[in-house]
Amino acid sequence: MTLTFPSSGFDEAVAAVCHGTASDGQLEGLHRLLRDDPAARDGYIFQVELHSRLASEPDLFPSAHREIPPPPGSWIRGDLSPRSRPAPTVGARRSWRRRRNQLLAMAACLALLLAGGGWLRYFHEDRRGATSLAVAMLGLEVNARWNSEDPVPRLGAPLEPRRLRLESGLAQVVFYSGARVVIEGPTELRIVSSTEAVCAGGKLTAEVPPQARGFRVVSPRFDVTDLGTSFGLDMADGRDELHVFEGEVEFRTDGSSTNQSLLKGRGAVAERGRAPRLVVADPTGFASLFELQTRSVAADALRHDHWRAASRKLRRDPSLWVYLDFEHGAPSDWRLPNLGARSAGVPDAAIVGCQWQEGRWTAKAALEFSGVSDRVRLNVPGTCGSVTLAAWVRVQGLDRQINSLFMSDGFDAGTIHWVIRADGVPGLTVIGADGGHQILAGPPVLTMDQFGVWTHLAVVLNGPAKEAVHFVNGQPVSRHTVRIGPPYRVGSAELGNWNAVGFPGNDPFLIRNFSGVMDEFCLFGRALGDAEIRALYNDGKPQAETMAKAARN
C-alpha cells in the first residue's frame, strides 16, 4: 500500500495501528512513508502520542482486572473472600483482549519502524550518555581575524583538537585542564588535547594554575612542560624565545632528551644550528598579550555601539511589527517596550517570571528563561502574507521534546509555532484553516557543543512564494515548500513558552518552555531575503572580527 501525508489514508492507517487493526499493507506503507518523510514522522508521533494518552485515561479504558463492587453481604471480616469475588464478565474479557491486541499492534509497529530507521532513537535510553570530543574553548577575542580557509571559531564555543590560524589580533584559548593560552596573530596553534598544544610559529603566553600542572607546549625548537606558572613563547625567523614570568618550567630543545629547568625571571633562546643560551626574561615583548582583558572590554564596547547604530536603523523598517532589543526594560519593570516601526498597533510585551542577565556584551541586558512559568506575553493583531522571525539566543539546554522560541496561543487558523526540538532541529508549524497543520523542520543544527554560545536563529515564511527557510547564524540551512497559504497571523503569543489553549486536556506533554537566554527578537510582516538575514547576523554578532569580514564582503 502506498500512503501520502497528509491524507485520509495516512490518518486511517495510524488509527488502525492505535486500535490494533492495522493490516500488513498499512504497516508496510507507513514504514516506507515515515522513513522518507520528516513531516509524516512528526504527524505520526503526534497522533500516536494523543491516542496513547487518551488510552491511559482509566474512565475510558477500564482494566478487566479491576475489582467489581461485591453484592451486599459478601464482606467477610472486612475482606472480600476469593469465593465471593465475582468473575470478570464475558464483555470485560473481550474488552481486555481487544485492548491487549491494540497495545501489541502499536508495539509491533514501533518495533518495525525502529528497525527500519534511526529517526526514533530518542525513544531509547542512550546508555553511554552524552559525549563530546572538545578539549578547550575560545575565551576572549580582540580584533581577531582568522584564516579564511579554516572554520571560524566562535566565542564561548567548545574546541575539539584542531588547528587555529590567527592572522591578526588576539585570542584566548581556555583548555579544559585549566590552562589559558593567549595568542597574537600571526600565530598557528594546534590543539592536541586538554593538556597539550603545538605552536608552529607566532607568539603566545600561557598561564597554568596548579590544577593544570604538566601542561605542555611544543614549538619548533622547544618542548616546554609547565610546572604551575606563566611563560611566553616568541617564534620567528628560525629563532625561538622562552620567557618564564612566574614559577618554573622544564624544557628540552629539539632532538635532546635532557630536560632543563627555568625559574621566574629567566629565559632561553634557541636558534637554528646552535645550542640554547640562557637570557633574562623580558615581559615587555609580550605586553599586548597581557593587555588582553583590558583590550577585550574596549572591543566589547565598540561592538555594542556598532549594534546600537544598526538597531536604530532597523527600527525604521515599516514592516517591523515587533522589535524587542532588551535594552530599555528596567529590571524592576515587567514591561518590555516594543520598538518596531508599527508598534502603535502592537502593545508592549509583558514579562512573566524570567530573570535579567548579561547579554551578548557586558553592558547589554538579556532575559533568562529557566522555569516552566517563564515567558514573555505578546499580542500582535492583524494578518500578513509573509512573516519573518529572528532572535539572538544562548541555548542552555533542550530540556523538552519541543522547546518554544515564539508560539501563538493554541491552534487558531493561520497562526505559527517556532520551536527547537530536543534533537536540535529548528521547526516551524503553520496551522491551517481546516484544523490541519504543516510542520517545516530543518536539519539538527543545535548540538550540545553549541549550548552556551550566542546563536542567531531566523525563519522566513514566504506566502506568495510558498516557501519557508530556516537560518542559523545568517546562513540558510533548509528550504521547504509551504502548502498552507496566507493570510498568516500571530494574535496572542509567547516568547519562550506556550499557552496550549484549545488543546484537549492540560497534558504535561505540552510543556514547551525554553531553557536559555534571549536578548533580541524581531517579527517582520514580510519575507526578508537571504542578504537581509545575513546583515541581521553580522550587525549583531558578538565578535569584533565581524566588521572586518563584512567590509571584505
Judge whether 461 and 488 are in contact, CB under 8 Å.
yes
pTM confidence score: 0.67
Please report the pLDDT score of residue 129 as a whole number: 52
Please report the pLDDT score of residue 176 as a whole number: 92
Domains in the chain, start-ordered, CATH in brackets?
8-68+79-123 (no CATH), 136-290 (2.60.120.1440), 300-502+512-552 (2.60.120.200)
Percentages of the chain per state (helix, strand, coil), in multiples of 5: 25, 35, 40
Residue of 416, 150, 141, 188 whose CA lies nearest to 289: 141
Q: How far is the C-alpha of 547 from the C-alpha of 448, rounded, in Å?
A: 28
Please report the pLDDT score of residue 29 as a whole number: 83
Any residues with CB less than 8 A from the CB of 492 and at least 6 apart, and which? 377, 378, 379, 408, 409, 499
Please report the pLDDT score of residue 28 as a whole number: 79
Q: 121: which DSSP letter?
A: G
Please report the pLDDT score of residue 452 as a whole number: 87
Please report the pLDDT score of residue 441 as a whole number: 93
Q: How far is the C-alpha of 305 from the C-alpha of 285, rounded, in Å?
A: 31
Judge whether 159 and 173 are in contact, CB under 8 Å.
yes
Q: How far is the C-alpha of 543 from the C-alpha of 550, rounded, in Å?
A: 12
Please report the pLDDT score of residue 503 as a whole number: 60
Judge whether 166 and 185 are in contact, CB under 8 Å.
yes
Any residues with CB less than 8 A from the CB of 302 and at least 6 apart, and which? 544
Q: 632528551: which residue's cell?
A: 257
Please report the pLDDT score of residue 2 as a whole number: 84
pLDDT tens over the chain, length 553 residues: 888 888 888 888 888 887 777 787 888 788 788 877 877 877 787 777 566 545 444 343 333 333 333 333 322 222 223 333 344 444 444 454 455 445 544 544 454 444 444 333 333 334 445 667 889 999 888 888 999 899 888 888 889 999 999 999 999 999 999 999 999 999 999 999 999 999 999 999 999 998 999 999 999 999 999 988 899 999 988 899 999 999 999 999 876 778 899 999 999 999 877 788 899 999 988 988 888 888 888 888 888 999 999 999 999 999 999 999 998 666 667 888 888 876 567 888 899 989 999 999 888 999 999 988 899 999 999 999 999 999 999 999 998 889 999 999 888 899 999 999 999 999 999 999 877 899 999 999 988 878 888 999 999 999 999 999 999 999 999 999 999 999 999 999 999 998 877 665 555 557 788 999 999 999 999 999 999 999 999 999 987 543 333 333 3
CB contact burial 338-366 (16+ within 10 A = b; e otherwise): bbbebbeebebbebebbebbebbbeebbb
Please report the pLDDT score of residue 348 as a whole number: 85
CA dihedral angle for residue 280, residue 281, residue 286, residue 292, rounded to 10 degrees: -160
Q: How far is the C-alpha of 242 from the C-alpha of 263, rounded, in Å?
A: 11
C-alpha cell, 382: 492583524
- φ/ψ of 466, rounded to 5, equals 55, 50
Please report the pLDDT score of residue 172 as a whole number: 93
Please report the pLDDT score of residue 119 as a whole number: 36
C-alpha cell, 47: 497522533
Terminal CA-CA length for the chain: 52
Please report the pLDDT score of residue 335 as a whole number: 84
